[in-house]
């Protein structure tokens, strides 16, 4: 991406103290031998792509795998296949691994904790928080969700892992803002006059405090039932 003044977007990010990166997978495809589960494609030619991203100024890459939650899923085959895929790429830049646990099922908090615990292992992670499925009738407090999420990470994460970058999908902005501020993209709205406020929102990501007031869009849920990637 090139800005109006001719500068590459990653260069601008770096000049403001940030780091640039890119999503490198090519989406999910059906995994043979499973009941509607998927694996991620894009390993072919990935080394060359990562080398080019590195030349372009990227310091991290993200690879997205999707795991279906249900009575018999994720299957051992799906976990093994997606774990192998996540472990198969490296090119001198930090990989951000994104093992998303879909919230479509009626699983409770404990079941989601077990699923997360069986999958999480890695470098910089972009995981789902441990949350109950949206159809689950039992309600859990933010404190309970935080406790089981932290417990899961303590049980699975090596102490040398430098960071966790949580997914906020499936939560409304008010819920997700415990960890992240309201969406900078929504503030931008593709309008030039909103560019500066959106940049300020982006710069403030991760600085949310419990005393902050959420925006008007905070209560809108980001969850889409049975979303297809």
Q: Tell me the pLDDT tens digit for each residue of 95-152.
A: 666 777 777 778 888 888 888 777 665 456 777 778 888 788 898 887 787 788 888 8
What pLDDT is attached to residue 50?
81
Q: How many domains does the chain have?
A: 1
CB burial string 163-179: b at 16+ within 10 A, e below:
ebbbbbebbbbebbbbb
Taking only Cα atoms into account, the Rg of the chain, rounded to an integer number of angstroms, comes to 19
C-alpha torsion sign, points 18, 205, 169, 1 = negative
**Can you tell me which residue has the tokens 């990637």?**
229
Pick the residue with more confidence: 183 or 77?
A: 77
Q: Is residue 227 part of a domain?
A: no
**What's the chain's average pLDDT?**
73
What pLDDT is attached to residue 93?
59
Q: Is residue 191 part of a domain?
A: no
Pairing verdict, β 28-30 and 38-40: antiparallel
Q: What is the CATH number of the domain that holds 122?
A: 3.20.20.70
Q: Is residue 214 part of a domain?
A: no
Q: Are 152 and 99 in contact (CB under 8 A)?
A: no
Which residue segment(s) compose the domain that 107 sits in? Answer: 9-167
Q: Is residue 99 part of a domain?
A: yes
Q: Does pLDDT of 89 surpass 60?
A: no
- Would you call the peptide bond into 60 cis, given omega within 30 degrees of 0 as the criterion? no
Give the Cα separation of 160 and 151 in Å (integer).
Answer: 17
Q: Is residue 149 part of a domain?
A: yes
**Total-model pTM:** 0.46
What pLDDT is attached to residue 208?
46
Give the Cα separation of 85 and 105 in Å (integer).
Answer: 25
């Amino acid at each position: 991406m090139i800005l109006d003044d001719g500068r590459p977007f990653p260069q601008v990010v770096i000049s403001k103290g940030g780091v640039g990166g890119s999503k490198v997978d090519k989406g999910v495809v059906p995994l043979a031998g499973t009941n509607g589960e998927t694996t991620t494609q894009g390993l072919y030619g990935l080394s060359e792509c990562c080398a080019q991203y590195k030349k372009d100024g990227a310091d991290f890459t993200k690879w997205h795998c999707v795991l279906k939650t249900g009575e018999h899923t994720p299957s051992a085959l799906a976990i093994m296949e997606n774990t192998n895929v996540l472990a198969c790429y490296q090119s001198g830049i930090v990989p951000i691994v994104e093992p998303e646990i879909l919230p479509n099922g009626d699983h409770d908090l404990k079941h989601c904790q077990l699923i997360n615990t069986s999958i999480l292992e890695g470098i910089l992670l972009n995981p789902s928080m441990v949350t109950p499925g949206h159809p689950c009738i039992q309600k859990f407090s933010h404190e309970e969700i935080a406790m089981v999420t932290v417990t899961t990470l303590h049980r699975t994460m090596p102490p040398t892992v430098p960071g966790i970058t949580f997914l906020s999908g499936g939560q409304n902005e008010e819920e997700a803002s415990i960890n992240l501020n309201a969406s900078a993209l929504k503030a931008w709205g593709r309008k030039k006059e909103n560019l500066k406020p959106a940049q300020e929102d982006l710069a403030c990501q991760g600085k949310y405090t419990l005393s902050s007031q959420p925006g008007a869009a905070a209560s809108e849920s980001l969850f889409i039932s049975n979303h297809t990637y």
